[in-house]
């Protein structure tokens, strides 16, 4: 074997962050770091505290979980300069052992899943797992996402949206507008959160007022969706770049009335049925819709696509797409691929390969243009 083939890939796993999903990110990162093949990869754990400090040491994950000793950790972070491709210290020094071949961002939610971190990685010219800036930002915003999917003639539920400032200043007007156009039950959500943070189900006017107030605290925009009665919650995993594929579908049977934060992570009583008990024709249709939803947003690497399917008529509604799905031991994204024949460790290998492949293609695109005359040097 040559020296190049023996060299391990140095992968930075970024986790934590300024997000309501900070804790979920830590659990996802733990699973990923444990599963990465240490014969292939040298792992550099990169933690972001809840106040935005970047720390990187072998203890960063442990320290973020305990929330202790963080002030004593040296800060190292990425800079938007394409020739370093490395973590640097506060004095600007780039350490050779901190040069990164690829990054696996596992920062769920704001400032991680919304295109901000992806933008930094693009400026730093470092390959990274998952969607690019556009798909990340659009995928994070439930309103823009629905508008694009509706334009692409994908089946989305009826919805209305409002600025949080209007919800707080004129709640009666907002509620009146909602009740004129939509029917109870309703789901009220901050436009830019995940893991069901800030989401409520409203069965009546009083609950709607409370739900709008809650959602308004988590984002500057609020979306209100028409509830689908007698619906099953179906999820599909998507993998790939230009030729994405979809996993077999799974069904979530939540322990609460809907799949809220507690039902997902806390009480441990929700049930995942894999594969979902659906007809072959419905499975095929859901997989086709998942790939189309992914492609419409210009997705890359990975995504989990969530659907509602009515129990009696098997009518399908696209709920949303998640560009950095959970990677915990109970998360559907890796479990669906495992049931489809791709193990957790193999899935990580494929995602890293897709990241490197996409970066290689992007680096071949021309970023300079040489005009016939140097007109720009002349005084205007």
168-185 pLDDT tens trace = 999 999 999 999 999 999
pLDDT at 41 > cutoff 70: yes
Rounded Cα distance between 187 and 184, Å, is 9
Task: Note whether 221 and 312 are within 8 A (CB).
Answer: no
Q: Render 92-150 in DSSP notation, one character per residue.
A: SPEEEEEE-SEEEE---STTTTSSHHHHHHHHTT--BSS--HHHHHHHH-HHHHHHHHH
The structural domains of the chain, ordered by start, are 3-128 (3.40.50.20), 158-226 (3.30.1490.20), 231-360 (3.30.470.20)
Cβ-contact 115, 134 below 8 angstroms: yes
What average pLDDT does the chain have? 90
How far is 276 from 237, CA to CA, in rounded Å?
13
> Quick one: which of 120, 84, 89, 117 has its CA closest to 100?
84
Across the range 345-371, mean pLDDT stands at 93
Instruction: Indicate the burial class of 269 (C-beta count within 10 angstroms; 0-12, 13-18, 19 or more).
Output: exposed
Tell me the per-residue pLDDT of 220-269, one tens digit each, with 9 for 90 and over. Answer: 999 999 999 889 999 999 999 999 999 999 999 876 565 445 544 455 56
Tokens linked to 52:
């935005």
Count of Cβ atoms closer than 10 Å to residue 297 Cβ? 24
Q: 196: pLDDT confidence band, cut at 50, 70 and 90? A: low
Q: 226 or 6, which is more confident? A: 226
Quick one: pLDDT band at residue 140, thresholds 50, 70, 90? very high
Q: Are 190 and 222 in contact (CB under 8 A)?
A: yes
Spatial CA neighbour of 317 closest among 156, 101, 158: 156
- Residue given tokens 């605290």 in the structure block: 217
Residue 307 makes CB contacts below 8 A (sequence gap 6+) with 233, 234, 235, 236, 249, 286, 289, 290, 316, 317, 318, 319
Q: In a 3-state reduction of DSSP, which class is residue 276?
A: coil
Q: HSE (CB half, 13 Å, CA atoms) of 233?
A: 17
Q: How many residues does the chain have?
A: 380
**CB-CB contact of 159 with 141 (8 Å):** no
| pLDDT 10s digits, 278-329 | 999 999 999 999 999 999 999 999 999 999 999 999 999 999 999 999 998 7
Q: Are strands 9-16 and 41-48 parallel, antiparallel or unpaired?
A: parallel
CA–CA separation, 88 and 364 (whole Å): 27
Task: Specify whether the CB–CB gap between 106 and 29 falls below 8 A.
Answer: yes
Q: How confident is the model at residue 367 (pLDDT cuts 50, 70, 90)?
A: confident
């Amino acid at each position: 074997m040559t020296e190049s083939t023996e060299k391990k890939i140095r992968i930075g796993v970024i986790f934590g962050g300024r997000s309501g999903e900070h804790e979920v990110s830590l659990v996802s990162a733990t699973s990923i770091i444990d599963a990465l093949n240490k014969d292939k990869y040298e792992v550099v754990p990169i933690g972001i505290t809840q106040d935005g400090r970047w720390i990187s040491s072998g203890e960063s994950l442990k320290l973020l979980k305990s929330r202790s000793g963080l002030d004593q950790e040296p800060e190292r972070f990425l800079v938007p300069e394409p020739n370093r491709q490395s973590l640097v210290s506060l004095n600007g020094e780039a350490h050779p052992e901190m040069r990164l071949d690829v990054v696996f961002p596992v920062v769920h939610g704001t400032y991680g899943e919304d295109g901000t971190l992806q933008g930094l990685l693009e400026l730093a010219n470092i390959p990274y797992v998952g969607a690019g800036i556009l798909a990340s930002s659009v995928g994070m915003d439930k309103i823009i996402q629905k508008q694009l999917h509706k334009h692409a003639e994908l089946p989305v539920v009826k919805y209305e949206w409002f600025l949080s400032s209007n919800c707080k200043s004129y709640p009666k007007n907002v509620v009146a507008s909602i009740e004129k156009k939509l029917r109870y039950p309703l789901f009220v959500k901050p436009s830019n959160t995940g893991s069901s943070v800030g989401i409520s189900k409203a069965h009546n006017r009083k609950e709607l007022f409370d739900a709008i107030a809650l959602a308004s605290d988590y984002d500057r925009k609020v979306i209100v969706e028409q509830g689908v009665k007698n619906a099953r919650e179906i999820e599909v995993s998507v993998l790939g770049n230009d030729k994405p594929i979809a996993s077999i579908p799974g069904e979530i049977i939540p322990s609460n009335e809907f799949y809220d934060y507690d039902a997902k992570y806390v009480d441990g009583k929700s049930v995942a049925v894999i594969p979902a008990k659906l007809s072959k024709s419905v499975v095929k249709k859901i997989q086709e819709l998942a790939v189309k939803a992914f492609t419409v947003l210009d997705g890359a690497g990975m995504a989990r696509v969530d659907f509602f399917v009515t129990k009696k008529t098997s009518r399908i509604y696209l709920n949303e797409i998640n560009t950095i799905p959970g990677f915990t031991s109970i998360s559907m994204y890796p479990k669906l691929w495992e049931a489809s024949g791709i193990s957790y460790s193999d899935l990580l290998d494929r995602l890293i390969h897709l990241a490197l492949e996409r970066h290689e293609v992007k680096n071949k695109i021309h970023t300079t243009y040489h005009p016939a005359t140097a007109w720009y040097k002349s005084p205007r």
